[in-house]
Each structure stands twice: as structure tokens, then as C-alpha cells.
């Protein structure tokens, strides 16, 4: 079994925490670099909680004690040395997101999702807003491998699509929060019709993960600090990249992709000759 980092566990278990435990989690995310310098009583004072509440919180994120929690957090919260500017800030954030995404990956789950994609009669990818753009990107990639796939970025089309699915089909729902009502409703309909459901999301214990046969988790930007300008889809694209590469390990799918690209390049060359 994989051993996730303490920040990964904090994020994944966040929706199962009590309101007071969520306050503790939020405080830790905001002050993760200085937590190692305080004791459990000081943290209780800062969060207006009790030491017993903090101890229960630590257990819920799979730490043996507050001391164990601090040791593990200190390893993950180390700041890069040197002056910080726009270039190094973005580099540091991207590195943190990529590394956190890799840490959260469960190889067995990815292999199962790849197998499901390859054996599904139809694959449907659902996403709204920026997640819809990621859904479309995944659709175009898999189309080149001759996989029957479509992407829905409109809530009404998702409902219509899900209503026509059956036990031979697969739905992949994209939602960082795991609370997107339109995605959840569509997956419920598809699941009721027998389709297999996959989610790519930040949090466990949400309405989306509750109806998913497999969930692939990505790090929340909330744990990175003030990152309102960073693309929220970076981690999802990383996951889709890994799925794409695993699919291309199949010689048949790789050959189909090569044939498609060669045909497209040939058409472009013909167009250039005629122009």
C-alpha cells in the first residue's frame, strides 16, 4: 500500500473532518512552514480548540501523534532557499504541484482505469468550465488512438449522454471540488444505467467519490497558498498525460495514433502544395 504524505492525507480526508478539525487543517495549510516551531498547546490556542481535538485530528490523517505529524509535515513544508521573484515563485509552485500529484498517484488505480478505457464500448468525459477544456483535450488525444470517446462540457448534454449509456460504457468526471452538482447528477444517471464511473478530483469522501468506482486524486491549489493565478487544471492534465502514456504502451493504440498523425501531416503537405 502506498504511503502518502501528510499534506496529501490532510487534503483527502478534509471532507470527513468536523468543522473544528477543518479549522485546524486550514490553519496548518496557511502556517505550514512554522508549525514545527510550536507545541500542541500553542496550536490549540491558535485554533481555539483543545489538545484532545488536535490529537484526534492527527489520527484522522493517519499520524500516530502530534509529534509524528510535525516531523512528517516539516519534511514536506521546507521552503526553497534564495530570493523569491515571479520566475522562481511559479517554478516552485509548478514543481510542488507536479510532485504532489505524483505522490498521490496509485499505480493500481491507474492501471485499472487504463484497462477500463481500452475495454469500454464508449468513453464519456464530463467537465465544466476549465475542467471542460481538459475533457476536450483528453477526447482529442484518445480519438487519435481510435478509441470511441466524446467529451461533454454542457450540463444538459451530460444528462442526455448519461441516459443513453449502459454496462459496456465508461464515464470520467472531472471536478476539483468533488461537489459539482452537474457532474454528480450525470454520473448518477450513468451509474444507474450500469456504466462504470471514474472521477478525477481533489478530495475523498465527497458526493462525487461516493458514486465513483475509482477516484484518481490530484492536489488542491488551496494547500499551495496564494495561487489564484495558477492554472487549476495543471494537476488534472498531469493525470491525463499519465493515462495517455499508459494507453500508448499498447502497440495497437500506438500504431493507430501514428497512422492518424501521418494522415493529418499528409493532408497538411497537400494543402501547402495547392496554396
Contact 214, 189 (CB under 8 A): no
CATH architecture of structural domain 6-76: Orthogonal Bundle (1.10)
pLDDT at 90 over 90: no
- φ, ψ of residue 244 in degrees (nearest 5): -65, -45
Residue range 174-189, pLDDT digits in tens: 999 999 999 999 999 9
Q: Looking at residues 159-169, what average pLDDT do you find?
A: 97
Strand partners, 126: 152, 173
Measured between alpha carbons, how far is 104 from 100 in angstroms, rounded to an integer? 6
Q: What is the mean pLDDT of residues 129-140?
A: 96
Distance CA 238, CA 113 (A): 15
Cell numbers describing residue 67: 509529534
Neighbours of 115 (CB within 10 A): 11
Q: CATH 3.40.50.10490 residue ranges in the chain?
A: 105-261
pLDDT tier, 270 (very low <50, low <70, confident <90, very high otherwise): confident
192 Cβ contact list (under 8 Å, min separation 6):
none
- 155 Cβ contact partners less than 8 Å away, ≥ 6 residues apart: 128, 182, 185, 186
More confident residue, 80 or 217: 217
Query: For residue 70, what pLDDT is reported?
Result: 92
Q: What local confidence, expressed as pLDDT, does residue 85 receive?
A: 67
List the beta bridge partners of residue 242: none
Helix (H, G, I), strand (E, B) or coil at 224: helix
Say if pTM beats, i.e. exceeds, 0.75. Answer: yes
Give the pairing of strands 149-152 and 122-126. parallel
Res 211: pLDDT: 97
| CATH 1.10.10.10 residue ranges for the chain | 6-76
Whether residue 110 is predicted with pLDDT greater than 80 in this model: the reply is: yes
pLDDT the model gives residue 96: 86
Higher pLDDT residue, 1 or 209? 209
105-261 belongs to CATH 3.30.565.10: no
* C-alpha distance across the termini of the chain, in Å: 59
Query: Which of 20-24, 136-140, 169-173, 260-264 is predicted least confidently?
Result: 260-264
pLDDT at 1: 42
Average of per-residue pLDDT across 131-141: 96
Cα–Cα separations (whole angstroms), residue 72 to 68, 82, 92, 243, 261:
6, 23, 20, 30, 47
Q: Three-state SS for 153?
A: coil
Please calculate the CA angle 25-28-29 and round it to the nearest 5 degrees.
Answer: 90
H/E stretch holding 216: strand 214-217
The model's pLDDT over 218-234, given as tens digits with 9 standing for 90+, comes to 998 877 665 556 777 89
Percentage above 70 pLDDT, the chain: 93
CA dihedral 61, 67, 73, 78 (to 10 degrees): 180
**Cell 454520473 belongs to residue:** 187
Please state, as a whole number, how many other Cβ atoms lie within 10 Å of the Cβ of residue 167.
9
Amino acid at each position: 500500500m502506498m504511503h502518502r504524505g501528510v499534506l496529501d492525507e490532510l487534503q483527502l480526508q478534509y471532507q470527513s473532518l468536523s468543522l473544528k478539525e477543518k479549522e485546524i487543517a486550514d490553519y496548518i495549510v496557511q502556517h505550514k512552514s512554522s508549525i514545527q516551531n510550536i507545541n500542541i498547546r500553542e496550536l490549540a490556542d491558535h485554533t481555539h480548540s483543545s489538545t484532545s481535538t488536535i490529537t484526534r485530528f492527527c489520527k484522522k490523517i493517519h499520524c500516530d501523534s502530534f509529534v509524528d505529524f510535525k516531523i512528517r509535515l516539516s519534511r514536506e513544508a521546507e521552503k526553497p532557499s534564495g530570493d523569491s521573484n515571479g520566475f522562481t515563485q511559479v517554478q516552485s509552485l509548478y514543481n510542488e504541484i507536479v510532485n504532489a500529484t505524483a505522490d498521490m498517484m496509485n499505480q493500481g488505480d491507474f492501471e485499472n482505469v487504463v484497462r477500463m478505457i481500452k475495454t469500454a464500448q464508449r468513453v464519456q468525459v464530463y467537465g465544466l468550465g476549465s475542467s471542460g477544456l481538459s475533457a476536450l483535450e483528453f477526447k482529442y488525444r484518445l480519438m487519435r488512438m481510435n478509441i470511441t470517446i466524446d467529451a461533454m462540457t454542457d450540463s444538459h448534454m451530460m444528462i442526455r449522454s448519461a441516459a443513453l449509456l449502459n454496462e459496456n460504457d465508461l464515464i470520467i468526471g472531472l471536478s476539483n471540488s468533488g461537489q459539482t452538482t452537474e457532474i454528480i447528477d450525470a454520473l448518477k444517471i450513468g451509474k444507474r444505467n450500469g456504466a462504470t464511473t471514474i472521477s478525477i478530483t481533489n478530495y475523498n469522501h465527497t458526493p462525487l467519490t461516493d458514486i465513483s468506482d475509482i477516484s484518481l486524486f490530484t492536489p488542491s491549489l488551496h494547500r499551495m497558498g496564494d495561487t489564484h493565478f495558477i492554472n487549476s487544471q495543471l494537476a488534472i492534465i498531469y493525470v491525463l498525460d499519465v493515462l495517455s502514456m499508459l494507453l500508448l504502451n499498447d502497440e495497437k493504440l500506438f500504431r493507430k495514433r501514428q497512422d492518424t498523425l501521418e494522415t493529418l501531416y499528409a493532408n497538411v503537405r497537400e494543402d501547402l502544395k495547392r496554396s
